[in-house]
Structures are given as structure tokens and as C-alpha cells.
Amino acid sequence: MYHPVYRAFFTTQYICGLRISEGINLPPENVKAEQRLLRVVGKRNVERFVPLPDALLKRLREIWPLHRNPTRVFASNTQRPVVQKTLYEAFHAAREAVGIQHTVDHVFRHSYATRLLERGVQLPIVQILMGHRRLSSTMIYTHLTEPVRDGLHQTLDSIAADLL
């Protein structure tokens, strides 16, 4: 239904917490297969390494023969790197096809951070994986997680039980 390179792009964005510009500019040498890491160069040239799951590495290896662009992981069949406008169009088409309204592709990055926090990854680690300079930038994701809310209820219930 959708071009495999676009699908791989958005999957990578979701699984690794990439900004769209980070994915567009991702060179093949930044895929560190042996270490199972992805080297990401983000805003203000801040470098970070994020874990690269085996299933995603397999997907990236599957799309490579479709374009074999020597400078970009994500490229069209004609070897031209994917461009932001085309990715936005693909995202909006997919979104409309499944009936989702009022969301942007950056939701993948937000979902990455939220998913990590929900699974118990400590906030400073999420900060590093997101490439945030300040912890306050990462803290915006804490209010979204059910485990944080559930944990708070359990803590308050425990305090109340001790007092009452």
C-alpha cells in the first residue's frame, strides 16, 4: 500500500525517537549494526546513540536494495534522498486512510519518549536518548504516562492509609 522506504522511515522515527530532519539526513555509516546502535546527529549538531532493535535493522537492510543511495539511509528508487514534503504527504495520506485526524508526524517522537517512561526507563536516560539539553524538555512527557499516574495513586493511597 505505501512505499516501503516511507514505512521504514516512520518506523525508524517511532522506534528510535527521531526528529524528521534526523531521519532525512541519516547516512548509512550511522547505522552501527554490530553495536546495534544508531548514531543520530540532532539539533545544534548534538550527537547521541540510540539502541537499534534487530527487527528494525532487518527492515533497514530490506529497503537498502531498493535505492542503494550511498549518502542516505532513506531514499527513493531513483536514489534521491527523501524530502520532508514527500514524507509529510505520505504521513497525511496514511493518517487519513486509517481515519486519524489532527496529529503530526512528530507524534512518533513523543510516543517514543512516552513508551520508554511507561516501561520504567529513568527520566535522565530518556533525556539522553532524546538528545535534550535540559531535563525540563524531557519532563513534558511524564504527565502522559499511565504508570506514572498509577504509581502516584498507589503512593498517595499508601500515605493516606498510614494517616487514617
Q: Give the per-residue pLDDT at 70.
A: 93
Is 112 annotated as catalytic?
A: no
Output 98 or 55, whichever has higher pLDDT: 55
Top-confidence residue, 69 or 95: 69
Is 2 an annotated catalytic residue? no
- The pLDDT mean for the chain works out to 86
Provide, rounded to the nearest whole percent, the portion of the chain with pLDDT above 70.
Answer: 91
Domains and their CATH numbers in the chain: 1-101 (1.10.443.10), 106-164 (no CATH)
- Catalytic, 43? Answer yes
Active site residue 106: yes
Of 48, 67, 72, 109, which residue is the catalytic one?
109
| Whole-number pLDDT of residue 161 | 85
pLDDT tens, 96-131? Answer: 887 777 666 678 888 898 889 888 899 999 999 999
132 included as an active-site residue: yes
User: Is the predicted pLDDT of residue 56 greater than 90, yes or no?
Assistant: yes
- pLDDT of 77: 79
Higher-confidence residue: 155 or 115?
115
Catalytic annotation present for 19: yes
2-45 tens-digit pLDDT: 789 999 999 999 999 999 999 999 999 999 999 999 999 988 89
Supply the pLDDT for residue 26: 95
Of the candidates 6, 14, 19, 72, the residue annotated as catalytic is: 19
Res. 155: pLDDT tops 80: no
Choice among 61, 80, 106, 133 that is catalytic: 106
Checking if the pLDDT of 59 tops 80, the result is: yes
Selected catalytic residue, list 32, 43, 61, 80: 43
DSSP string, the chain: ---HHHHHHHHHHHHHT--HHHHHT--GGGEETTTTEEEEE-GGG-EEEEE--HHHHHHHHHHHHHH--SS-SSB-TTSPBP-HHHHHHHHHHHHHHTT--S--TTHHHHHHHHHHHHTT--HHHHHHHHT-SSHHHHHTTGGG-HHHHHHHHHHHHHHHHHH-
What's this model's pTM, rounded to 2 decimal places?
0.80
